[in-house]
């Protein structure tokens, strides 16, 4: 039990239903190549891993520190482009990837510190607007410096041999699945994302994390006690940015492609917001639930909605509303309801339901 | 009792920000190869600035008065544009006729329809989405973002996902030619409409009791309530007006671009945010000057170095914030 | 003489803080009642609760025969209560004229009343068309009071009008308030300056830690130095 306690930094799910859901997700992701064969499903699984990390990093910012930033995709993009540019210009070696990663992480940390020091003194709304402008600027920069970043089309590149789909590691298939570079890539993404998620969990459950929450609750009072909130917020901003960049690095390793549409677009920022709020702000596990739900819905819900759309064919406007491309509409409504009624999202709902059944931990 | 001076201090309008406009126009003059081009760009810049002002003024006033930043404002712009397509495209007989009056009549109809729709939606939005989260800035940002997502999807559900072409009315196409100088007719209209909106806002704010309430409320809405006014009711009116203005801006912008897409509101929101930050959150006058500055810079730089056009406006914002951290005309808040 | 305002058992909480812990006192009709007490005693909270800016969590506030707890601030103001907050609440961007026009809810400003105001506060006439932000601290305070009185009010709530003002101006203000007392208006005045209070008050209520610890006639308190010392301690000499 103590192994689990250390691993989760004492932050248990605190709900039978939630524990079950998390275990299902964990097992599903851990054994994805074997349980869900096919390229599409593995793609979805890898995307889930990346987004769990990305959304968790955003939860640190929004849920725990109370900062709304629209520049998060910028850090995601920096990580991805770090790998992309290194692999394209320096060749597909582990050395170049390491260099690219380190450069990306350093760049993100610096930018995050800059943003923190310059803007965290201002009010919430002002800060949100400024990060929006900065993110837009960065996205345009990325598409304009096409010599460097591949412009609108992005960069495609190759990676060390062992990560490529072509290379076979084992002569014979294991449990019916060919163990090739793709599987290796997947497990790299999975283990890295899982490890970094646990690191974030540790950060929010540390004394530092508690100060963040105190600052989120009552900035004035925290300052009165002696905690310089600007410093804490800047550090939180840095940690979140680094985690987001790491997610970008993993994504770039998986896709072997980096471009403005996959990493820097405002749509992704909106998606992150949806995931973190619907999953549950300030819970970390909300990121797991939210990201899984969202990515799976994004891929598979559309098929479901297509059926509904055909069924509603006769009625005016209704087919347009349940048209598969309109899945974001329903998610948006769910999002609004979550902000009003369920601030702790799905995780909060599951936990409160179990509280009534007197679920006791530790 | 008071200071010994007998002379009254003169309430001088802070004119320095106003001077920025001619300064930037003049600065561009040597950089641009020919005078006719400079004239064209300046008119284009002013026209664009006016349209941005129409769209941004409502947002800044709502923020100043109600302390609410409506991140879904872009949706109202887009809706205004789409309503215009629904009115103008069927009225092709009028818009394509070679009669200025018919053209203007059609345009007026489109404007009235857009403003009515966006104004009504604004009221609904304020009551349903925003009212429950007064004063809670974090939730406000999240909720209005949610409203934006839902609105954008509803727009696509109603008008379809494809871009719609919206040609300018026949007599508003083309330019006035004076020797070497060409001035687009539509841009002149845009400037006139913008000035009309500014004049109307100025009159309402400075000559009516409601305007007095709003100006006082922007400074200290609690005190206005203590004087016996139900300022919450004014909130709804201002929000509706701001949304209607967004709709109007959407119509003008749609005809300027001649295409209408579901993302057009969002695309112009960046410039709008830059404008209201430059102008000072809550200041209509600041918004006016900020819009013109941004319009001019966007057009001059767009001509000289297109790649850095948006960057130049962000740079402008940074420079102004370094000079006046609260914007050109900060509102004296309690 | 009947009581225009009566508070009984009023409690007010703000967030986690329990500021008013059962406030009981009355304001007799037509007089000037002083609410005295140290910083942080809850005097401003008391006024704000009466105005409805903060909602009383318990108790009753009887104004002219009706309980006004829970009513909105505009409704309370419309019952005939004028409020001069500690921060004065002047609209700096509006001219003196606009400030007063706004305060005259019922319609155009009554010229007779305006002339009376100019008599009390000549600076207002001088700065009539200028933005109120140009006024000095003392002048702003006078504008704030003028604004609360530009139309007849039943009750005036004034929060620390002498704060930060020079002695000469305070003397002028004593005269102005004496004038105001001659009208039909009842006044509830919050003060820390005991001399100012003593010059104007008919009755007094002393507040400490959210409760009323003494109430009665001002004349009694003014003569009893031992009582003054006990209730008000060192703050007596601070604002002479």
Domain membership of residue B32 (yes or no) is: no
pLDDT of B302 > 80? The answer is: yes
How many angstroms separate the CA atoms of A51 and A269, rounded? 11
Considering chain B, what percentage of its residues have pLDDT values greater than 90?
48
Lowest average pLDDT, out of A144-148, B84-88, C99-103, goes to A144-148
- Domain of B140, CATH number, reads 1.10.3470
How many angstroms separate the CA atoms of B160 and B260, rounded? 11
Closest listed residue to residue A338, CA positions, set A277, A284, A290 = A277
Residues of chain A positioned with their CB less than 8 A from the CB of B273 = 129, 132-133
CB C172 to CB B228 under 8 A? no
Interface probe for C, chosen from B226, B284, B334 (most Cβ of C below 10 Å), is: B226
Q: For position B143, what pLDDT does the model report?
A: 92
CB A321 to CB B157 under 8 A? yes
Residues of chain A positioned with their CB less than 8 A from the CB of B63 = 125
Closest listed residue to residue B331, CA positions, set B243, B205, B237, B233 = B205
Check: CB of residue B283 under 8 Å from CB of residue B329: yes
Residue A107 DSSP class: H
Interface probe for B, chosen from C50, C102, C124, C137 (most Cβ of B below 10 Å), is: C102
Q: How many domains does chain B have?
A: 1
pLDDT in tens, A56-68: 999 999 999 888 9
CB B3 to CB C136 under 8 A? yes
Q: Which has more confidence, A253 or B18?
A: A253
**Token pair 């002339």 in the structure block, residue:** C115
Domain membership of residue A267 (yes or no) is: yes
Domain membership of residue B276 (yes or no) is: yes
List the Cα angle B318/B271/A105 in 5-degree steps. 60
**Strand residues in chain C grouped as ranges (E):** 3-14, 17-28, 32-37, 58-63, 66-67, 81-84, 155-159, 186-191, 203-208, 211-217
> What is the average pLDDT across C66-93?
92
Q: How many domains does chain A have?
A: 1
How many angstroms separate the CA atoms of B285 and B328, rounded? 9
Interface probe for B, chosen from C50, C54, C91, C175 (most Cβ of B below 10 Å), is: C91
Domain membership of residue C53 (yes or no) is: yes
CB B2 to CB C168 under 8 A? no
For residue C71, give its domain range: 3-93+153-238
pLDDT in tens, C178-190: 888 888 889 999 9
Q: Which of C51, C102, C127 sits opposite B216 (nearest CB)?
A: C102
Domain membership of residue B91 (yes or no) is: yes
B251 Cβ under 8 Å from any chain A Cβ: no
For residue B127, give its domain range: 41-323
What is the band of C235 on the pLDDT scale with cuts at 50, 70, 90? Answer: very low
Q: For position C236, what pLDDT does the model report?
A: 47
Q: Which has more confidence, C45 or C222?
A: C45
CB B146 to CB A332 under 8 A? yes
Tokens of A289: 């639930």
3-state SS, A325-355, equals HHHHHHHHHHHHHHHHHCCCHHHHHHHHHHH
Give the contacts of B23 (CB within 8 A, at least 6 positions apart). none
> What is the average pLDDT across B42-57?
93
CB B332 to CB C94 under 8 A? no
b/e sequence C84-105, b meaning 16+ C-beta within 10 Å: bbbbbbbbbbbbbbbbbbbbbe
How many angstroms separate the CA atoms of A210 and A230, rounded? 15
H-run or E-run covering A258: strand A257-258
Check: CB of residue A272 under 8 Å from CB of residue A82: no
Closest listed residue to residue B141, CA positions, set A110, A273, A214, A201 = A273
Q: For position B11, what pLDDT does the model report?
A: 54
Check: CB of residue B138 under 8 Å from CB of residue A273: no
Domain membership of residue C119 (yes or no) is: no
Domain membership of residue C30 (yes or no) is: yes
pLDDT in tens, B87-136: 999 988 888 888 888 888 999 999 999 999 999 999 999 999 888 888 78
For residue A153, give its domain range: 2-355
CB A124 to CB B138 under 8 A? yes
Side-chain half-sphere CA neighbours of A269 within 13 A: 22
Q: Which residues pair with A57 in a beta bridge?
A: none
Q: Which residues pair with C215 in a beta bridge?
A: C205
3-state secondary structure of C58: strand
3-state secondary structure of B305: coil
Q: Which residues pair with C155 in a beta bridge?
A: C81, C186
How many angstroms separate the CA atoms of A336 and A354, rounded? 24
How many angstroms separate the CA atoms of A250 and A47, rounded? 10
Domain membership of residue B281 (yes or no) is: yes
- Domain of A6, CATH number, reads 1.10.3470
Residues of chain A positioned with their CB less than 8 A from the CB of B138 = 66, 68, 124
Task: Spell out, as residue ranges, where chain A has pLDDT lower than 50.
Answer: 359, 361-362
Residues of chain B positioned with their CB less than 8 A from the CB of C136 = 2-3
How many angstroms separate the CA atoms of A181 and A198, rounded? 26
Side-chain half-sphere CA neighbours of B52 within 13 A: 30
Tokens of A346: 């799905």
Dihedral over alpha carbons A174, A180, A182, A184 (to 10 degrees): 80
- Domain of C18, CATH number, reads 3.40.50.300
pLDDT of C79 > 70? The answer is: yes
Cα nearest neighbour of C134 on chain B: B9
How many angstroms separate the CA atoms of B29 and B35, rounded? 8
Mean pLDDT (chain B, rounded):
88
B128 Cβ under 8 Å from any chain A Cβ: no
How many angstroms separate the CA atoms of A177 and C185, rounded? 91
Question: pTM for the full model?
Answer: 0.84
Domain membership of residue A176 (yes or no) is: yes
Q: Which of C94, C126, C129 sits opposite B216 (nearest CB)?
A: C94
What is the band of B1 on the pLDDT scale with cuts at 50, 70, 90? Answer: very low
Interface probe for C, chosen from B134, B217, B221, B228 (most Cβ of C below 10 Å), is: B228
* Shortest Cα–Cα distance, A149 to chain B (Å): 15
H-run or E-run covering B176: strand B175-178
What is the band of B291 on the pLDDT scale with cuts at 50, 70, 90? Answer: very high
How many angstroms separate the CA atoms of A118 and C113, rounded? 53
Q: Tell me which residues of chain B, numbers 161 to 200, contact chain A at a CB-CB cutoff of 8 Å.
A: 161
pLDDT of C93 > 80? The answer is: yes
Domain membership of residue B330 (yes or no) is: no
Domain membership of residue B105 (yes or no) is: yes
């Amino acid at each position: 039990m103590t192994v689990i306690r250390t691993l989760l930094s004492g932050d248990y799910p605190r709900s039978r239903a939630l524990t079950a859901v998390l275990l299902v997700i964990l097992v599903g992701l851990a054994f994805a190549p074997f349980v869900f064969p096919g390229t599409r499903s593995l793609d979805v699984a890898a995307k889930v891993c990346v987004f769990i990390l990305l959304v968790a990093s955003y939860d640190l910012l929004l849920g725990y520190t109370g900062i709304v930033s629209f520049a998060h995709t910028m850090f995601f993009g920096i990580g991805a482009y770090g790998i992309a540019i290194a692999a394209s210009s320096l060749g597909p070696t582990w050395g170049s990837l390491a260099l690219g990663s380190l450069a990306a992480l350093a760049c993100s940390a610096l930018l995050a510190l800059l943003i923190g020091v310059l803007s965290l003194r201002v009010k919430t709304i002002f800060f949100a607007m400024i990060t929006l402008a900065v993110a837009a600027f960065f996205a345009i920069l990325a598409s304009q410096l096409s010599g460097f970043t591949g412009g609108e089309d992005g960069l495609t590149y190759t990676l060390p041999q062992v990560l490529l789909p072509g290379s076979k590691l084992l002569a014979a298939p294991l449990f019916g699945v060919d163990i090739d570079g793709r599987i290796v890539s997947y497990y790299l993404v999975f283990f890295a994302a899982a490890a970094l998620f646990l690191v974030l969990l540790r950060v929010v459950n540390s004394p530092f994390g508690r100060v963040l929450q105190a600052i989120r609750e009552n900035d004035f009072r925290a300052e009165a006690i002696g905690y310089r909130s600007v410093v804490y917020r800047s550090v939180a901003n840095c940690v979140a940015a680094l985690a987001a960049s790491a997610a970008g690095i993993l994504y770039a390793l998986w896709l072997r492609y980096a471009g403005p549409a996959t990493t820097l677009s405002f749509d992704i920022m909106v998606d992150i917001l949806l995931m973190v709020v619907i999953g549950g702000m300030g819970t970390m596990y909300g990121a797991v639930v939210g990201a899984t739900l969202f990515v799976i819905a994004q891929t598979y819900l559309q098929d479901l909605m297509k059926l509904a759309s055909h069924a509603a064919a006769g009625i005016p406007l209704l087919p347009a509303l349940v048209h598969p491309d309109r899945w974001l509409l329903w998610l948006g409504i769910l999002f609004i309801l979550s902000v009003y009624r369920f601030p702790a999202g799905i995780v909060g709902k599951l936990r409160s339901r179990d509280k009534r059944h007197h679920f006791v931990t530790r | 009792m008071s200071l010994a001076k007998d002379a009254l201090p003169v309430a001088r309008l802070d004119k320095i920000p106003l001077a920025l406009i001619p300064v930037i126009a003049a600065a561009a003059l040597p950089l641009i190869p020919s005078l006719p081009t400079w004239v064209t760009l300046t008119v284009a810049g002013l026209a664009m600035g006016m349209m941005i002002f129409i769209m941004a003024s409502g947002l800044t006033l709502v923020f100043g008065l109600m302390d609410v930043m409506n991140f879904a404002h872009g949706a109202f712009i887009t809706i205004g544009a789409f309503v215009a397509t629904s009115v103008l495209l069927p009225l092709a007989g009028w818009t394509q006729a070679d009669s200025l009056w018919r053209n203007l009549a059609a345009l007026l109809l489109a404007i009235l329809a857009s403003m009515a729709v966006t104004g009504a939606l604004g009221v609904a939005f304020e009551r349903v989405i925003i009212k429950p989260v007064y004063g809670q800035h974090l939730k406000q940002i999240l909720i209005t973002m949610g409203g934006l997502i839902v609105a954008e999807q509803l727009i696509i559900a109603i008008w379809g996902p494809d871009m719609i072409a919206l040609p300018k009315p026949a007599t508003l196409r083309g330019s006035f030619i004076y020797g070497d100088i060409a001035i687009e007719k539509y841009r002149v209209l845009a400037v006139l409409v913008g000035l009309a909106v500014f004049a109307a806002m100025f009159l309402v704010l400075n000559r009516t009791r409601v305007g007095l309430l709003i100006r006082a409320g922007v400074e200290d809405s609690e005190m206005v309530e203590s004087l016996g006014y139900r300022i919450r009711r004014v909130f709804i009116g201002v929000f509706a007006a701001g949304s209607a203005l967004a709709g109007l801006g959407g119509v003008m912008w749609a005809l300027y671009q001649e295409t209408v897409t579901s993302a057009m509101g969002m695309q112009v929101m960046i410039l709008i945010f830059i404008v209201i930050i430059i102008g000072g959150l809550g200041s209509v006058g600041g918004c006016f000057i900020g819009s013109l500055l941004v319009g001019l810079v966007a057009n001059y730089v767009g001509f000289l170095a297109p790649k850095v056009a948006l960057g130049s406006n962000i740079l402008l914002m940074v420079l102004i914030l370094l000079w006046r951290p609260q914007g050109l005309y900060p509102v004296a808040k309690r | 003489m009947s009581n225009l305002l009566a508070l009984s058992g009023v409690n007010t909480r703000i967030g986690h803080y329990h500021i008013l812990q059962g406030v009981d006192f009355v304001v007799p009709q037509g007089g000037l009642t002083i609410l005295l007490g140290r910083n942080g005693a809850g005097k401003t909270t008391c006024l704000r609760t009466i105005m409805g800016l903060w909602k009383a969590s318990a108790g009753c506030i009887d104004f002219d025969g009706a309980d006004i707890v829970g009513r909105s601030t505009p409704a309370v103001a419309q019952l005939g209560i004028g409020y001069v907050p500690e921060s004065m609440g002047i609209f700096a961007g509006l001219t003196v004229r606009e400030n007063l026009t706004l305060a005259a809810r019922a319609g155009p400003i009554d010229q007779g009343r305006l002339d009376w105001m100019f008599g009390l506060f000549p600076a207002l006439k001088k700065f009539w068309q200028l933005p109120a932000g140009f006024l000095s601290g003392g002048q702003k305070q006078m504008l704030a009071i003028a604004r609360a009185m530009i139309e007849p009010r039943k009750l005036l709530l004034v929060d620390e009008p002498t704060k930060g003002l020079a002695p000469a101006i305070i003397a002028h203000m004593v005269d102005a308030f004496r004038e105001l007392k001659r009208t039909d208006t009842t006044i509830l005045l919050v003060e820390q300056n005991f001399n100012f209070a003593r010059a104007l008050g008919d009755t007094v209520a002393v507040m400490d830690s959210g409760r009323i610890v003494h109430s009665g006639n001002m004349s009694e308190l003014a003569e009893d130095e031992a009582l003054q010392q006990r209730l008000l301690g060192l703050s007596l000499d601070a604002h002479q």
